[in-house]
Chains A and B, each alone.
Chain A
Amino acid sequence: MAVKSFKKMKLNMTAYINIALVLLIGGLLVPAWLLAGDVKPPSGDHNGKEVPQPIEFPHNIHVKDNGINCMYCHTYARRSKVAGIPPTSKCMGCHKTIATDKPRIQKLTEYWEKKESPQWKKVHDVPDFVHFTHEKHLKKFVFDRDFPVENVKEVCAFCHGELENMTVAKKVKPLTMGWCRRCHEANGGPGDCWKCHK
């Protein structure tokens, strides 16, 4: 019986071919349509791995507990394409006096006395053919919108995650091209390839 129906099915080859074609076309176009319509701001997270840093810098303490503005340390962000790692002198500015008993701070002081700065590891990295600029993004999302600068961390968090709840930074957003693109489409950002790729 089973065998028979099996045979029956085999006979009808045209059906097979039609099914195959339908699947082929459907498989390509349907998701295409789904994606084409999608201009929602990017969602989706990325579970980055823990990056060991020379000094386990506690963002949470600085941001949440002490309410220090991101751009106080990452001071180049609004003036340049790169946000910049704060210079050791800036750290020492406070930590000459503050929390000098903490092992991390003592490590930092060692560096300072050796006149070296720590070899930080890059966490949020993009390929070298991508030219992202912090300056423009801050202009659009903070200064042009009269967004309260003291809350700038909410804007930073969009790409860098909520650092107020981390110690050392961890990549929590995909930072892939599609991710960028969807945000640009949602917020009317430039769609010109040569904006980011040169």
Chain B
Amino acid sequence: MSLENVLNNWSKYRRGAEEGGHHDYEHKWAMMINLDLCIGCNACSTACYAENNLAVVGKDRFEKGQAMHWLRIERYWDQAEQEFPEQGASFLPMMCQQCNSATCEPVCPVAATYHTPDGLNAQVYNRCIGSRYCSNNCPFRVRYFNFYSYYESSWPEPLNMQLNPDLTVRDKGVMEKCTFCVQRIRVAKDKAKMENRKVGDEDFKPACVQSCPTSAMVFGDYLDEGSQVRKLWDKYQVKMGPAKQDKQEPDMRGYRVFEGLNTDPSVLYLERVREKV
């Protein structure tokens, strides 16, 4: 962003500040996760490891809390007081929520994390200087830092042949997080552009969505009225943008984690359903 650019677009930045994140997107990638179908099987998480060159940190560093799982499945027992969890476990796939007014963006000293025109919360590895402020300011705690250089330890020959050349292998001192598989998005968009059409639902899926055995995850362009994900957001009467949700049917299942913090996440969760026997 050259200085001129800043000055010319100042009003836009101001508006962004007022509305929380700028909202004039060309696409707005969004997700919907049906927690009633999520069985917590870890397929998405492992798919993420495979697609995004995530480092395997090993037992000791995992113990220190330095694991790099961009997508982790959180498991909770709902009935804490009971002797047996009779209604089973609650599973929550938690990854970067790609907030529209992300709290991580304003605090990065070098603007290594910022909002892309297609509504993604970007992390530019080669710009990152590792101040880790973004992670501190993330209420979901989904930003992971390369505390070590994992290249040798995590991909001993020939494991490194599996590394995905479409995205960078991060080295020590860099923050990273879920990107909604931006490399797939970019390829799909480029392909669509070469064919002079708009990118659609079927063009691509993030690794997690593609692997989910129960199809609990749905991904797409929120701005595309026809997209599956948009239909679902509308069905569950959750809107992106406004601080206050006004559901005609307040009992509808859709909700976003920490809605109250008004970070305007792009991931819609559907409450898990249980039948009392």
Contact = CB atoms under 8 A, between A and B. Distances in A.
Interface of A: 32-33, 35-39, 127-129, 131, 133, 135-136, 139, 185, 191-195, 197-198
Contact of B126 (A32, A129, A136): A129
Interface residues of B, number: 25
B3 A193 contact: no
A133 B168 contact: no
Interface in B61-111: none
A193 B125 contact: no
Contacts, number: 58
B114 interface: yes
A174 to B, nearest CB: 17
Interface stretch (B115-123, B198-206, B259-267): B115-123
Nearest to A182: B2
A113 to B, nearest CB: 30
Nearest to B7: A36
A129 B3 contact: no
Interface string B1-38: 11111000000000000000000000000000000000
B127 A197 contact: yes
B166 interface: yes
A33 B2 CA distance: 9
Contacts of A39: 2, 4
Contacts of A133: 190
Contact of A193 (B2, B114, B179, B194): B114
A192 B182 contact: no
Contacts of A185: 2
Contacts of A129: 125-126, 168
Contacts of A194: 116, 120, 122, 124, 182, 186
